[in-house]
Structure 1
Amino acid sequence: MSQFPITDKTEITRLPKRGVYDKDVVYSILDEGLFCTLAYARDGQAFQIPTGFCRIGDKLYLHGSVGSFYMRELAEKKPPVSIGVTFIDGLVLARSAFHHSVNYRSVVIFSTPEKVDDADELYKALEVFTNKMQPGRWDDVRKPNSGEWKATMLLSFKIDEASAKVRTGGPKDDEEDYALDIWAGVVPLEIQRKPPIADDVLKAGVALPDYLK
């Protein structure tokens, strides 16, 4: 079992039994997530950016416009960043208000940005990102032209310092509260793909592709 090293930034100190450092668990959460939040500080002011991402091996990739201020700043200054991904899997309803909780899976990464200039790496990352958003999509769409490639910036983040935190199961009440006439349990939550809705100006005769059925 391969694990990330526990550092002063990644160590889970609050409810440490929920901390997970196994790479397979961390990567599975990252691969399921469709967006992350990137945080960094500029001139003493904290900023956070919600954005899509993908993972290839031990790197996380973000892409955006070459005109994006924060993308240019990250590429040029390479500040330390923190990247978070979270799933809320259920509402945990206890018998007491104090013990209500949520079931969740979360990952926090500490890294620094690197601008990707290699054309093959850029192409591969955008292919993986597109297919992560919708499996099968990359082979079905027009690929970026030279102008669109030039307008796109790709940043990579080495996943060296990371940890996950996970809660599962039902509520944990005080022993005396289990006798109360109050319902307790879990309300499951999940992200669900709904049936596709065609573009209003979709060309007549274009069928729904099999990967969307």
Structure 2
Amino acid sequence: MTLTNTTAPRRIRRLAERQTTDRDALFALLDEELVGHLAAVVDGVPVVVPMGYARDGEHLLVHGSTGGGFALRAAAEGATVAFSVTALDGLVFARSLFDSSMNYRSAVVYGVLEPVDDERADAALLALSERLMPGRSAEVRAITRREAAATRVLRLALDDVVMKTRAAGASEDTDDGEDHSTWAGVVPRERRWGTPVPSPLTPEGTPTPVSVVALMTRSRSEHRLP
């Protein structure tokens, strides 16, 4: 399955061999990361804004304020936007700075933002919440009508996507002329959640919520040493 559904695939020109059209690899990247960067041209000026997102099947979901914001303007104008997501998986230490590199996965989604209709807005907001803070919605009060009215969910189809990856060691060869007594290799990058810090107004002794405990437990199990 390719990364593009309805349009001709975009081609990477530099290091084209690093382009992938593996749909599962795309979904894995999007489901693993929490923040992307939305780019658009507003009044002739390029604007890039980082924001949380969630994947809902074949779409990305983002949200913004109905009171303004370039994302809503871009959606209203039918402008093409780009949304990028990157995971840094490791630093590659070669025997020269020129050959040193990074292991990474990156994807850029192109398309037009579409407002989610009112009938699906609540479900879309819940999907965003569950992606960022699984289980938290059951622990806090429901969103008010005023809050809902101030929030607009937008979606971006995963129809026009380009993805690039590097997952290899340092470039080296037995006859490359380098001093092989100099260490070369990869330092993987691991990420985990730290110890929760209660807010100043949270009474002392208040139990840590289930959603936070689950997040911590999952993070530690994913990074447990063999």
Structure 1 partner of 2:134? 135
* Alignment-mate amino acid for residue 34 of structure 1: L
SS at match of 2:176: helix
Q: State, as a whole percentage, how many aligned pairs show the same letter.
A: 34
* Alignment-mate amino acid for residue 191 of structure 2: I
Give the TM-score normalised by structure 2. 0.86
Using the TM superposition, give the Cα deviation of residue 210 of structure 1 relative to its aligned residue in structure 2, in angstroms.
Answer: 2.7
CA, structure 1 residues 201+107, in 2 after alignment: closer, same or farther (shift >3 Å)? same
Deviation per residue, 1:78-98 (Å, 9 max, x gap): 210111000111110100111
Deviation per residue, 1:159-179 (Å, 9 max, x gap): 101122111121103642444
SS at match of 2:17: helix
CA contact (8 A) 2:42 2:74 kept: no
Structure 1 partner of 2:192? 192
Deviation per residue, 1:10-48 (Å, 9 max, x gap): 222222221111211111111111110011112332111
Using the TM superposition, give the Cα deviation of residue 205 of structure 1 relative to its aligned residue in structure 2, in angstroms.
Answer: 4.8
C-alpha separation between the residues in 2 aligned to 1:4 and 1:106?
13
Runs of 4+ in 1 over 4 A off after TM superposition: 6-9
Structure 1 partner of 2:148? 149
Q: How does 1:1-20 map to 2 (within 5 A)?
A: 2-5=1-4, 10-20=10-20
Structure 2 partner of 1:54? 54
Give the TM-score normalised by structure 1. 0.91
CA contact (8 A) 2:35 2:50 kept: yes
CA, structure 1 residues 194+177, in 2 after alignment: closer, same or farther (shift >3 Å)? farther
CA, structure 1 residues 9+73, in 2 after alignment: closer, same or farther (shift >3 Å)? farther
Stretch of structure 1 that moved more, 172-181 or 109-118: 172-181
Q: Which runs of 5+ in 2 are unaligned?
A: 214-226
RMSD (Å) for aligned C-alpha atoms: 1.9
Stretch of structure 1 that moved more, 61-70 or 144-153: 61-70
SS at match of 1:97: coil
Deviation per residue, 1:77-136 (Å, 9 max, x gap): 1210111000111110100111010000111111101112223x2111211211211222
Structure 1 partner of 2:114? 114
Q: Which runs of 5+ in 1 are unaligned?
A: none
CA, structure 1 residues 176+142, in 2 after alignment: closer, same or farther (shift >3 Å)? same
Q: How many residues align?
A: 211
Q: How does 1:138-177 map to 2 (within 5 A)?
A: 138-173=137-172, 175-177=175-177
C-alpha separation between the residues in 2 aligned to 1:195 and 1:204?
16
Using the TM superposition, give the Cα deviation of residue 5 of structure 1 relative to its aligned residue in structure 2, in angstroms.
Answer: 3.5
SS at match of 1:63: strand
C-alpha separation between the residues in 2 aligned to 1:205 and 1:5?
51
Deviation per residue, 1:54-98 (Å, 9 max, x gap): 110111111011113313312311210111000111110100111
C-alpha separation between the residues in 1 aligned to 2:4 and 2:151?
34
C-alpha separation between the residues in 1 aligned to 2:136 and 2:31?
17
SS at match of 2:135: coil
CA contact (8 A) 1:96 1:173 kept: no
CA contact (8 A) 1:90 1:102 kept: yes
SS at match of 1:202: coil
SS at match of 1:200: coil
Structure 2 partner of 1:44? 44
